């Protein structure tokens, strides 16, 4: 595997974890102050507006970091696949697997963002 691809994969997953873990922890603790009237608060929903804003910013950061890094990785891998296909057409099938792995970065960020969005 290309050293650049391995580095970009590690950096992208690190960004998703760096942004996502604090947001998940904020969502898990319930957002700070509890509502005085428990009948008004829905189960598992965060009512603190500052915590909601922090989670929305974290969602935007996760999804954008995942999509940007996936787009860059797919562009680089796609160029390499087309170069390899011109010399050895039998390598195309195995090379497309790497493109799918790079596209998984965007899906990881999107799934965690959707899960966090359900807590607001």
Could you state, in order of their start, the residue ranges of all structural domains in the chain?
A: 64-120
pLDDT at 27 over 60: yes
Q: Are 64 and 12 in contact (CB under 8 A)?
A: no
* CA–CA distance, 120 with 81 (Å, rounded to integer): 42
Q: What is the pLDDT of residue 28?
A: 67
Buried b (16+ CB within 10 A) or exposed e, 44-78: eebbbeebbebbeebbebbbebbbebbeebbebbe
Q: Read off the pLDDT of residues 40-58 as tens digits, 9 standing for 90 and up.
A: 556 667 778 888 888 888 8
DSSP letters spanning 51-68: HHHHHHHHHHHHHHHHHH
Residues counted in the chain: 120
pLDDT at 33 over 70: no
pTM for the whole structure = 0.62
């Amino acid at each position: 595997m290309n050293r650049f691809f391995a580095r970009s994969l590690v950096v992208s997953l690190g960004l998703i974890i760096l942004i996502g873990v604090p947001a998940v922890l904020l969502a898990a603790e319930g957002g700070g102050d509890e509502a005085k009237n428990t009948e008004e608060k829905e189960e598992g929903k965060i009512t603190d507006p500052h915590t909601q804003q922090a989670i929305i910013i974290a969602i935007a950061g996760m999804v954008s970091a995942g999509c940007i890094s996936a787009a860059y990785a797919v562009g680089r891998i796609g160029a390499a696949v087309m170069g390899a296909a011109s010399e050895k057409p039998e390598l195309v099938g195995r090379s497309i697997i790497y493109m799918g792995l790079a596209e998984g970065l965007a899906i990881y960020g999107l799934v965690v963002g959707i899960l966090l969005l359900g807590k607001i």
